[in-house]
Chain A
Amino acid sequence: MSLRDNPLGELKVPLTWAGAVALVVAAVVAIAVLISDRRETFKAEAYGATRRASDTVLAPVGDVLAAPGRWTGAGIDTIRDYFFAGSENRELKAQLKEMRQWRDVAIALRDENERYRTILGLKTDPPIPMVAARIVSDSRGPFADTRLANAGTERGVKAGNPVMSENGLVGRVIGVTDGASRVLLLTDIASRTPVMIDRTNARAILTGDGGPNPRLDYLRGRDPIREGDRVLTSGDGGVLPRGLPVGTAVKGLDGRWRVVLASDRAAIDFVRILLFQDFTQVVNVKALNEMPTPPPTPGRGPAPVAVPKAPAPPASAAAKAPSPAAPPAKPEAAKATPTDGAAKPKGVALKPAVTKPPADPAETPEASAPNADRPPAVRPATTTGGTKPRPSTTKPPAAPTPAKPRPKPSAEPPHP
């Protein structure tokens, strides 16, 4: 039987059609997958079991494949150190001399800052715990810029955690699994980072476009930026802590302001993942919203009257005074915050601790931690800002010490 007589010999046309049908089916599957993808959401479950499983497999593979490159780099560094030790030593000595002067300035400024914080009752940033990780794979295309780091849930990493190299911010974690985390770089097209210009405090959104220099969108203010300005994270929105170095502003060829990333100064091999949690992430929003409004106290005056009495120190004379509560409130408040004469009742003084966090996450971790454990009775005072009578807040808190006076709105420095 010749090939032409064989029924399989006539498969050419049917197979072409079958191939076309297979192409359509594959395209439908691909489009369905693309539409259902939710990579950019913050929800951990959106990352998907497939990605988690693949990251778990790819992280050790990438680690092994990257090892020769690391060893070669380390060897070259060793050789370079050997030959350039003398000149490097001279350079380091000169830097050390300069740094000593800066150290003295920094110590003086730190001391001054601490005193101001104490006086103003500012809630300062608590130290952020962090874990070190190694980058094991890298993608640099126009549609995806991510890296895989070899630290995951076993070390407390969560989606949303900021990632830094020794030079500056690299990105944030978008997916995490056991032993690996997927880091979305600042250059990724899906990356949006609230930043500020260090010199002017102007705000902008750093938007990745797949290139090495992400652009600054939504710049506000008059003449907010100049070439060479330092760009830092603003902390707005509570995703990232405030003040992390991002890079330097430059004018792009397209006339838009862009940022030369500080993390690009050197190869990103080791990173630090900041286990940062903002107030908006740790607070129990449901409980906060369901807080019942306490009934007004019969016979009591307006809101400010009741509250100043609450933190009244052992000074029993003031508490027992038969006169209306409003007049003594001012002197007491003035005592608590000696620097500010325009004191307001202390019931209002709690307000900044809560109204501030969404705008300034630097204060939030400390503010949120005690709030989460506080009895519900105290919460309304912080949420309502003292505009309603709150008899429950008359429960005296810990006696105010001179070292930590209660914050006051008037004493609060203007938010940059």
Chain B
Amino acid sequence: MSAARPLEPWRWLGVPMLQALVATVLFGIPLRVAGLQLPEPVFPMILAFAWAVIRPSILAPFGVLTMGLFLDIFWGGPLGLWAVCLLIAYGLALSARSIMAGQGRLVLWAWYGLATASAMVAGYLFAMLDSKSTPGLIPMAWQFLATIVLYPFAQRLIDLFEDADVRFR
């Protein structure tokens, strides 16, 4: 009867958030193999999308905000940049939630790509305003690709928790 219980925030917010932050730290290790560095995907993007699809929540936006601030501090970028970008992706997914309902995996993947792209375009504009210089498009494309291949993790989270709360069926 676990499905009949209200969804505990730590299960769908706390634990995934911790996992995303640990993955971010692990991928921040200065490791170079055969002249190549590790990719740098935006792990919290998985949660920003999945949380919006799973259900509306009061805690989720602040979770996204926390992850964004952590990214900015850990990566040493302008404080608030990724927080704003992730919230834009979250807001887009939340506003399109009713459209995405019942869609297949590939369509959701496309929506995930759209949310990621909107976040990165926002990041591009904010970074351009902040530093008065245009970021390179190639590194942006690499990070975009490295992030959208992570969609299966978002799908798994959605499958786990979308029907977990009877009030949101």
Contact = CB atoms under 8 A, between A and B. Distances in A.
Given A19-B94, A26-B87, A37-B80, A142 B61 contact: no
Given A23-B61, A61-B25, A34 B31 contact: no
Contact of A143 (B57, B58, B78, B94): B78
Contacts of B123: 142-143
Interface in A1-39: 3, 8-9, 11-12, 15-16, 18-20, 22-23, 25-27, 29-37, 39
A325 interface: no
A178 interface: no
Contacts of A25: 61
Interface in B59-98: 59-62, 64-65, 68-69, 72-84, 87-88, 90-91, 94
Contacts of A203: none
B22 to A, nearest CB: 10
A190 B126 CA distance: 12
A138 B56 contact: no
B61 A22 contact: yes
Nearest to B69: A33
Given A31-B84, A209-B135, A211-B139, A3 B37 contact: no
A29 B166 CA distance: 32
Nearest to B62: A26
A8 B87 CA distance: 28
B103 interface: no
A62 B26 CA distance: 8
Interface in A55-111: 58, 61-62, 65-66, 69
B79 A138 contact: no
A182 B29 CA distance: 15
Contacts, number: 187
Nearest to A135: B30
Nearest to B58: A22
Interface stretch (A46-54, A233-241, A333-341): A46-54
Contacts of B64: 26
A210 B141 CA distance: 11
A135 B94 CA distance: 39
A148 B139 CA distance: 21
A8 B91 CA distance: 25
Given A27-B84, A267-B30, A267-B32, A146 B76 contact: yes
A136 interface: yes
A32 B81 CA distance: 10
Contact of B126 (A34, A54, A136, A207): A34
Nearest to A16: B56
B94 A182 contact: no
A30 B56 contact: no
Given A23-B61, A33-B83, A65-B26, A143 B138 contact: no
Interface string A246-286: 00000000000000000000011100000000000000000
A182 to B, nearest CB: 5
Contacts of A193: none
B74 A143 contact: no
A189 interface: yes
A30 B28 contact: no
B143 interface: yes
Given A22-B61, A65-B29, A182-B76, A190 B130 contact: yes
A7 to B, nearest CB: 12
B77 A30 contact: no
- 3 smallest CB-CB distances across A and B, nearest first, come from A34-B80, A144-B77, A146-B76
30 contacts: A15-B58, A19-B60, A22-B60, A23-B94, A26-B65, A27-B87, A30-B68, A34-B79, A34-B126, A40-B130, A50-B73, A137-B29, A138-B30, A138-B37, A140-B139, A142-B123, A142-B127, A142-B142, A143-B78, A143-B123, A144-B72, A144-B76, A144-B78, A146-B76, A184-B76, A207-B133, A209-B135, A210-B136, A210-B139, A211-B138
